[in-house]
Structure 1
């Protein structure tokens, strides 16, 4: 059922004196009162009943069980010269804004992707990324970790979103990934020889611990938020292997040491078991994909507190597309058929083994905006619905080291709130039908439709 939100815009031409009430506001504050039939307390792992959320100036000011008298809030908003919104979420569940910890907002899958790179300029990718960013926000994902781009175009996108120039999720971006010559991070794999230049640390291509230090320092100069490394092969590059090891333990340790010096976390793309082992021993903060993760890898991850970001939807999507003749080059299609059938079962075993799991999807490998399909795939892998909701809220916030800012609806935090029809604990697929999106107190979607700002 579609969520019905009653929006009341206050148009009072006067204000009533309300003394020193708690609802007194600074000038020009906007106030929203949200009445939710249910509200996810992601920190406690509980679904609360009727709850009213008071949003003031982009932050959550109050939480109340049940309903409240809205008139004092309306009067206070008008006295302060701001606007007032009342949103009655009939039969809806309110949740914290979702976090996707593995995205690529400056690219998207296409059967022409491998030839587009010779026709499109970086400006073309940057402009298209604004569409992908808005689509992601409207799907309920108010924060993302962007773990790889082409030429630092995601840094420009992040800056444009932060400046309010384009709508999109809050971005934490790694810029270009770091990896070895000919590896998954090498953007010229598959090029003819005169075009396949020999990249260096400034391009994210390293072949020694010394190169690693230079690459991390360049990323710091470029203005990234985290570091992404490629210690194993991957599916969509034009090399032969999805799982071979492509960075030495010493190179990984050098990246991690330099990154941690600068306050960066390190995400490691790793399909192969040996690459995962090296990455964990090297001190990375998270393993992405982890397709061929074995029991020893899982034991090490628990021991070191390493996060796991499964990206099941990406494996399933590439397997599906690989069955379409010509969608991928032959060597890519072969790797997709190898990885696709395995990744979901690996995620289920990792959950049972007690590995820490955060929600991530590898958006761009599939069309942007379909991120929430991952919830169903995680549940089908054996994870409880409450766990997967926490994976996309409190767990992902902890991975980002933003647990005191993101992932919960709590007094004093930024107002990132979404709503879905029904109860996702009863039917997790309702997460694919987000009908309301608020980020930092600004409403971007209501009644299932984008709001024109």
Structure 2
């Protein structure tokens, strides 16, 4: 049944590309203004929006295929700036040691499909073993697989024994992350290595983390000198940097170094918030993961050490999120999917609203803000003439009920139909 459905959707997508495609719906959200436009009409030609407006203003091209999306509201495709597509949320801690690199690559194929089918047409993958995310990115871009557009970071950089190293096995196994680096010149070399093998971004660990063995979640791991060298090297290559950072000193050091985004950002104070405002740093805060880690984590193999750290971090991170929103820090949507199951990314929207954002702000974080951070605002993030036709539809008004984003009905990526009711 699933194979037949896949083939039928693929044939529809191929057929739609031979002619103009017109979408008609009950409403459309302008993510810039928050205005809900009644009875929109969107004309798609090839992979871009050719025309967009109201149904009483625009005419339908003679060759067009028209899809009536009754009861639906159109939005730009959603964007998640912190995912791990090659990670299986059912396997944490020592359970992950049993997975080979080929198996993790195949896991990424499945998770990419789940992600786009729930409305996320673009993701930033911040860390994967053996450049599996780059292989996945390229296969999707070349049409071999169905999945979101991926901005891939390759292997995450970190200190020896830090959050981005492999710390589960004893000394005699000599198990170490291939991207572990100590000192400014080693750090620069690893940045160059990632760029050599196709990374779009650099991700590094500035502090300890929740799910790593033997790291203190708030402790800074790279020195200021090392972070400065890392960001400088990435800047020379024209790519952005994402810093995993829970602890306060690591957050501040990363911002001072000039990172594009801070991931998690759990322990913020007024100085850190002001630094982020001054530098224009984006925050990507995964405030839904606490519920999965503390609810399902033990069954998935999450270590008791990690559960204890999450009990410490979770509530503080949500307080920091509220403070950052109130201060007006730039925010993007980052779920950390892979810690919890892919395809459930949108569950975070309701938490973002609960802890301080308006529904429009939460949607902007996952659309125009993310597109701006990626340097893709001309192509992505809003429904406008000339932009790529990444479009989703939900059954109602998400400004009134943000949880509707967990019920995406239609998904189009570059004008191609991915899923429908």
Q: Does 1:208 align with 2:183?
A: yes
1:239 is aligned to: 214
Q: Does 1:221 align with 2:199?
A: no
Q: Does 1:85 align with 2:65?
A: yes
The number of residues matched between the two structures is 408
- Cα distance, 1:250 vs structure 2: 0.5
1:53 is aligned to: 42
TM-score if structure 1 supplies the norm length?
0.87
1:230-379 → structure 2 map (5 Å cutoff): 230-322=205-297, 324=298, 327-379=301-353
**8 Å contact kept, 1:344–1:377:** no
Say which SS state the counterpart of residue 197 (structure 1) adopts: coil
- Cα distance, 1:326 vs structure 2: 7.7
2:122 is aligned to: 143
2:107 is aligned to: 128
- Cα distance, 1:113 vs structure 2: 3.0
Task: Please give the alpha-carbon distance, in whole angstroms, between the structure 1 residues aligned to 2:270 and 2:347.
Answer: 27
Match among 130, 133, 143 for residue 164 of structure 1: 143
Task: Please give the alpha-carbon distance, in whole angstroms, between the structure 2 residues aligned to 1:265 and 1:358.
Answer: 14
**8 Å contact kept, 2:17–2:45:** no
**8 Å contact kept, 1:183–1:246:** yes
**8 Å contact kept, 2:263–2:285:** yes
- Cα distance, 1:388 vs structure 2: 0.8
- Cα distance, 1:327 vs structure 2: 3.6
Task: Please give the alpha-carbon distance, in whole angstroms, between the structure 1 residues aligned to 2:137 and 2:373.
Answer: 19
1:9-20 → structure 2 map (5 Å cutoff): none
**8 Å contact kept, 2:289–2:336:** yes
Between structure 1 and structure 2, the one with the greater Rg is: 1
Say which SS state the counterpart of residue 320 (structure 1) adopts: helix
1:170-196 deviations in Å (ceiling 9; x for gaps): 00010011110000110x212121123
Task: Please give the alpha-carbon distance, in whole angstroms, between the structure 2 residues aligned to 1:85 and 1:376.
Answer: 35
- Cα distance, 1:68 vs structure 2: 6.8
**8 Å contact kept, 2:94–2:168:** no
Q: Does 1:101 align with 2:90?
A: no
The 1:240/1:208 distance shift into structure 2, 3 A limit, reads closer
Q: Does 1:416 align with 2:390?
A: yes
1:197 is aligned to: 175
Task: List alignment gaps of at least 5 residues for structure 2.
Answer: 1-11
TM-score if structure 2 supplies the norm length?
0.93
1:397-430 deviations in Å (ceiling 9; x for gaps): 1111111111011111110000001100110000
The 1:54/1:60 distance shift into structure 2, 3 A limit, reads same
1:80 is aligned to: none
The 1:244/1:55 distance shift into structure 2, 3 A limit, reads same
- Cα distance, 1:304 vs structure 2: 0.7
Say which SS state the counterpart of residue 65 (structure 2) adopts: strand
Task: Please give the alpha-carbon distance, in whole angstroms, between the structure 2 residues aligned to 1:145 and 1:28.
Answer: 27
- Cα distance, 1:126 vs structure 2: 0.7
Task: Please give the alpha-carbon distance, in whole angstroms, between the structure 2 residues aligned to 1:107 and 1:246.
Answer: 24
1:283-302 deviations in Å (ceiling 9; x for gaps): 11111111111111001100
**8 Å contact kept, 1:173–1:225:** yes
Larger mean Cα displacement after TM superposition, 275-284 or 231-240? 231-240
Say which SS state the counterpart of residue 211 (structure 1) adopts: helix
- Cα distance, 1:53 vs structure 2: 0.2
- Cα distance, 1:198 vs structure 2: 4.8
Q: Does 1:425 align with 2:399?
A: yes
**8 Å contact kept, 2:27–2:39:** yes
2:6 is aligned to: none
Task: Please give the alpha-carbon distance, in whole angstroms, between the structure 2 residues aligned to 1:333 and 1:236.
Answer: 8
1:7 is aligned to: none
**8 Å contact kept, 1:184–1:237:** yes
Task: List alignment gaps of at least 5 residues for structure 1.
Answer: 1-10, 12-26, 78-83, 448-453
**8 Å contact kept, 1:38–1:49:** yes
**8 Å contact kept, 1:37–1:89:** yes
- Cα distance, 1:86 vs structure 2: 1.5
**8 Å contact kept, 1:96–1:409:** yes
